[in-house]
Amino acid sequence: MKKKIAFISGIGGQDGAYLAHLLLNKGYRVIGGERRSSKNTYWRLKFLKILKKIEIIDFELNELTNIIRLFNNYNISEFYNLAAQSFVHSSFKNPITTSDTNGMGVLRILETIRTLSPKTKFFQASTSELYGNSSSKSQDENTSFRPRSPYAVSKLFAHFITINYREAYGLFACCAITFNHESPLRSEEFVTKKIAKSLVEIKNKKINHIDLGNLYVRRDWGYAKEYTELFWKILQQKKPMEYVISTGESHTIKEFVEEAAKYCGFKLKWEGKGIKERGIDIYTNKVIVKINKKFFRPTEVNTLKGNNKLIKKELSWKPKCNFKKLVKIMMEYEINEFKRN
Ligand code: NDP
Ligand code: GDP
């Protein structure tokens, strides 16, 4: 029997790599889309030992011809759109390219699916950033959206255009509203990876301290490897619909630092207020954490906590990896990685 073809845009990113690994194990032929770049974007695929098993093609979301060529060349059963300008902070600096990639990029795909391949199932990676500063204690599929960054606004367009193409044209198209998900494969600009890597470097005297922004925001952090399994499951449902993916646990950046610091033998006490706040290791009296204005955003999302009742019920899922376990996975990786290099 011919293998089903899955296409993953953003294959070189964190989620793309984990999802590709899963789909290969499930027997799919995996085509990955990656835009040409001067950076080494394949380290995650190499880490998971799958680079040679994937067919990688040029895929730029801002270039309609790439999308049309893809559908002319392959009979794609499942399209996972994981490509995005995914860093909220950058979206304030590059609002137009962010909107084009994250918003219009999705419309380009949907319109191509509608005209060339209406049987292709489409998955869109929506985000908890859509909620902004929600007045609800926890956010579910019915909580209203109030985005607070160009990133979130672009994802709002993507979210609703996906639903619109489903309703208007009967496409099997759906979105997962995923809360922050992390792993050793996370990019270094995101706060969890930055903290994990920097603490190990401080421990090994490669750097003196870490500069962070707002320590008091709360995020619902899950494990990316687990979440990508749900991306696949969502496309296997009878009916396309939206699901929140979250752990239901919410922690501050400060709590992440404190938990991660334990793995390096640090115990932090905090002194000062606002921009002058410092995290000091009580054993050595060394300043480990400083606050730097550079890492604050013009508008912030203060608290995110997902309500995952629907996905638990309908997909018989529950998160296996809680906050402490996630920190452990990330810290153990960084400690070993430092030894390797
Ligand atoms: P990453 O940033 O790790 O990966 C994004 C991928 O998209 C990269 O491979 C990147 O390539 C690619 N990309 C960026 N711009 C373009 C473009 N114009 N054309 C084609 N490819 C492009 O993100 P994640 O894997 O963490 O996230 C996957 C998706 O899930 C994203 O859409 C993200 O917004 C969304 N999401 C993620 C969350 C999380 O916590 N991880 C939470 C909620 C939603 P390059 O390396 O060249 O930049
Ligand atoms: P986001 O939730 O998608 O924006 O993921 P990030 O990991 O980039 O940021 C999570 C939260 O950490 C945001 O509210 C940031 O303002 C906050 N934060 C505090 N200090 C930093 C920092 O140094 N880097 C990043 N990326 N975020 C920080």
Q: How far is the CA of 312 from the centre of ligand 1 (A)?
A: 25
**Number of neighbouring beta carbons within 10 Å of residue 93:** 10
CA–CA separation, 82 and 176 (whole Å): 11
CA–CA separation, 5 and 30 (whole Å): 6
Q: How far is the CA of 141 from the centre of ligand 2 (A)?
A: 23
Query: Tell me: the pLDDT tens digits for 33-73?
Result: 999 876 777 999 999 999 999 999 999 999 999 999 999 99
| 12, 45 contact by CB (below 8 A) | yes
Which residue has the CA at smallest separation from atom 6 of ligand 2?
Answer: 190
Strand order in the sheet with 278-281: 210-212, 287-291, 278-281, 268-271
Q: So which residues are the catalytic ones?
A: 127, 129, 151
CA–CA separation, 128 and 162 (whole Å): 16
Alpha carbon of residue 316 to chain centroid: 22
The per-residue pLDDT for 38 is 66
Q: How far is the CA of 293 from the centre of ligand 2 (A)?
A: 12
Rg (CA), the chain: 20
Residue 58, helix vs strand vs coil: strand
Q: How far is the CA of 274 from the centre of ligand 1 (A)?
A: 32
The per-residue pLDDT for 257 is 98
CA–CA separation, 7 and 32 (whole Å): 6
Which residue has the CA at smallest separation from atom 13 of ligand 2?
Answer: 217
The per-residue pLDDT for 41 is 78
**Two structure tokens written together for 315:** 């997909």
The per-residue pLDDT for 37 is 75
Which residue has the CA at smallest separation from atom 12 of ligand 2?
Answer: 191
CA–CA separation, 79 and 234 (whole Å): 12
With a Cβ cut-off of 6 Å, ligand 1 is lined by: 9-10, 12-16, 35, 37, 41, 59-62, 82-86, 101, 125, 127, 178, 180-181, 187
Rounded mean pLDDT for each run of 10 residues along the chain, 341 residues in total? 94 97 98 84 94 96 97 98 98 98 98 98 98 96 98 98 98 98 98 98 97 98 98 97 98 98 97 97 97 97 98 97 98 95 82
The ligand 1 atom at the shortest distance from the C-alpha of residue 185 is 3
